[in-house]
Amino acid sequence: MASSRAINVLFLIGLLLVPFMWDSFVAYQLGLFLLYGMVGQGIGLCWGRAGFLPLGQALFFGVGAYVFGFALKLEAGPLILVAGLLAAILLPALIAFVVGFLVFIRQIGSGPYFSLITLALTMLGFQLANSMDWLTGGFNGMTGIPALPGTDTYETLYYVIWAALVLVSGVLAYVGTAPFGQLLGATAQNEERLQYFGVNTALLKAIAFAISAAVAGLAGALFAPHQGIVTPQSVGFLLSAEIVVWTAVGGRASLMGPVLGAILIGFMASELRDSFQYWEVLIALVFVVVVIRFPGGLWSLVEGLARRLPSIGAKGARKRDLETDKSRADGSVRLAFEDVELVLGPVRILDKLSFRIDTPGVHSIIGPNGAGKTSAFNVLTGRLKPTAGRIEYNGATVGGLSRHRIARKGIARKLQIPSVFPDLSVDRNLDIALWAGNLTLSQMFTLRPFRWSTPLLNEMYDIFPFLEDGRQPAGSLSLGQRQMLDFAMTCLTQSPLLLLDEPCAGLSSSETGEMIDAIERIVATTGSTAIIIEHDMQVVERLSNHVLVLNQGALLANGAMEEIRSNPAVQAVYGGGSK
């Protein structure tokens, strides 16, 4: 990781020396490509890290250019210029945040909706820039923009652009290393799981998009004095598409890849565009191949390492020396389902399900396949909205709330299929669980949360020693270890209520034994309440004295194990009670 940082610094120093090695005209041309490269770095944050693709980034570039161009043309002193620069950065960020949040809160994952909406926005921006003659100069553009005061456009402006590039690179590197960037990477891998940790992923993605827009706005602001003219092309779809191509070819997952892509393709285009008719066709072809086959782009060649972990922040030895106390003052749990119904299409999955849980310890839900066990968890954790009925948790209604809200009320869930963040290290996975529910938005941008530790974490290391080898990616663990990591993460949230969906599924018999011991021990030390869904009656028998039997979406029986065994209705469902 240190080597990667050294290459970035060398690259930046190399760029600073260009005016001395070639002439200032080359540096002038290069300045434009650096500006485009910065926009690409912003796209890299969204696409390479968070996994959603903005297709209209030129909109923010163009807004920044028009706004700062306008301020420059006023020639009204430094105060106006500073205000103009701030507006050129903040206005795009605001637009991006609002649009991003509106879309992301409705559409989980990297679906096409976001990309198409951003594409439509840039088309709209182009039309607006064309039609608002009084402000933008219309089709002919905003002309006669003076040079940035104190600089010469063809000589010293290059150093200002270079400084902006260094600033942007520094900020993006820091943001990527901080918890914010780690959570963003986790979003790309398993957004839903992250929501069960209480993370508002829509907000996270909207902030990332706003940062990328702010970077584009800054680049646009410098574009105005660099070119002396801003035309509607600067907000348009074509420029947006070109920058996406440069970002991909340069390397979307790296910090400097987009800059390299912009420089290389930019210079080659200015040489070849006129002499070689099929130049654009060639570039489009390269883009298709790179996107599908070489997601690392050219920068991965520079680094000589094709595949890297996205966890840039991983350092050699890490210290967890900040004890945080996550245990909640009142760990008691009162959960009530009242006539909860869930109807999906023609299927009635939950049919007036009612039960209460208000004692600590392990409660089990059993029942034949299709009885509605996992669906009960789904409506409780916000994956599905109940069609009717009430779900109350500690006095508040939770049915129908969004996943992260419910998680923040103190309900943690382990899914049936172990779902960890495979490309992140084991350590980072544990971090995310420790942060769950506790990390404030401002802490996401500091490095201290990496040092958090809790007494329970040390107990987890004791129970599952493999967790101490924290640097391996979680995806390289065996299935059993992933189950255990997932379980550990669920417990580390220290939610009063733990929902464990078949925690022993796919485990060998010795692993099952370990898991049972672990559940018993954790529930005892934290005083939390656990509800487990389980098919294995031995597990149920060992862990819990309270069993709920579900059948056809309703509660069939409810009581201690012995009562359940002797219940004729339960015996009938389980084939005469042979088990």
Partner 1 sequence: MELVALQGLNFVYISLTLALVALGLAVVFGLLGVMNMAHGEFVMLGAYSVLVVQNAGLPLLAALPLALAVCAAVGWLLEYFVIRHLYRRPFDTLLATWGLAILMREIVEAVFGRDYKSVNQSLPGTVEVFGAVYPAYRVVLMALMVAFFAGLFLWYRRSNTGARIKAMVSNPALATAVGVNTAVLARGAFIFGVCMAGLAGVALAPLVRVEPYMGIDYLLSSFFILVVGGLGSLVGLLVGSTVIGGSDAIVSAITSKTGGYMTVLVISILFLWLRPNGIVARD
Query: What residues line the site for partner 1 (CB under 8 A)?
Result: 51, 53, 55, 99, 102-103, 105-107, 110-113, 115-117, 119-121, 123-124, 127-128, 130-131, 237-238, 241, 244-245, 248, 277-278, 280-281, 283-285, 287-288, 291-292, 345
Q: Given the complex with partner 1, which of 84 and 251 has the nearer CB atom?
A: 251
Q: Label residue 576 exposed, middle or buried (CB < 10 Å: 0-12, 13-18, 19+).
A: exposed
CB of 121 to partner 1, least distance (A): 7
DSSP collapsed to 3 states, 120-163: HHHHHHHHHHHHCHHHHCHHHCECCCCCCCCCCCCCCHHHHHHH
> What Å distances lie between residue 318 and 6, 255, 333, 427, CA to CA?
21, 24, 36, 10
Nearest to 67 by CA among 215, 251, 224: 224
> Which is nearer to partner 1, 356 or 385 (by Cβ)?
385
SS3 label, residue 276: coil
Q: Which one, of 236, 246, 184, lies nearest residue 210 by Cα?
A: 184
What's the sign of the alpha-carbon dihedral 142, 143, 148, 151? positive
Instruction: Tell me how far CA of residue 216 lies from CA of 236, 365, 524, in angstroms.
Output: 13, 52, 53
In angstroms, what is the minimal distance from the CB of 271 to partner 1? 18
CB 505 → partner 1: shortest distance, Å? 21
Question: Is the Cβ of residue 115 or residue 558 nearer to partner 1 in the bound state?
Answer: 115
CB of 17 to partner 1, least distance (A): 34
Nearest to 519 by CA among 378, 319, 364: 364
Cα distance between residue 382 and residue 196, in whole Å:
9
Checking DSSP bridges between strand 452-453 and strand 322-323, what pairing results, if any? parallel
CB closer to partner 1 out of 281 and 396: 281
Q: Residue 178 and residue 167: Cα distance in Å, rounded? A: 16
Minimum distance, C-beta of residue 292 to partner 1, in the bound complex (Å) = 6
C-beta of 60 vs 487, nearer to partner 1: 60
- Find the shortest distance in angstroms from Cβ 321 to partner 1: 39
Cβ proximity to partner 1, 103 vs 353, nearer residue? 103
Residue 184 C-beta: closest distance to partner 1, Å = 16
Helix (H) or strand (E) holding 342: strand 335-344
Composition of the chain by helix, strand, coil, percent to 5: 60, 10, 30
What's the rounded Cα separation, in Å, for the pair 31 and 36?
9
Report the nearest approach of partner 1 to the CB of residue 486 (Å). 24
The least distance separating partner 1 from the CB of residue 320, rounded to whole angstroms, comes to: 35
Retrieve residue 185's tokens.
């990477």
Q: Which is nearer to partner 1, 287 or 435 (CB)?
A: 287
Instruction: Give me the residue label for tokens 């733990």.
Output: 498
**Using CA atoms in the order 15, 49, 118, 270, what is the torsion angle rounded to 10 degrees?**
30
Q: Which amino acid is at 47?
A: W
What's the start-to-end Cα distance of the chain, in Å?
56
CA distance 139 to 133: 8
Q: How far is the CB of 268 from partner 1 (least distance, A)?
A: 15
Nearer to partner 1 among residue 288 and residue 388 (C-beta) = 288
Using the minimum distance from each CB to partner 1, give the nearer residue, 4 or 419.
419
- Whole-number Å distance between alpha carbons of 239 and 66: 15
Long-range contact set of residues 396-399: C-beta below 8 Å, sequence gap at least 24:
399/340
CB of 259 to partner 1, least distance (A): 21
Closer residue to partner 1, CB minimum distance, 241 or 391: 241
Read off the tokens for 524: 């005892």
- Give the nearer residue to partner 1 in terms of CB position, either 33 or 52: 52
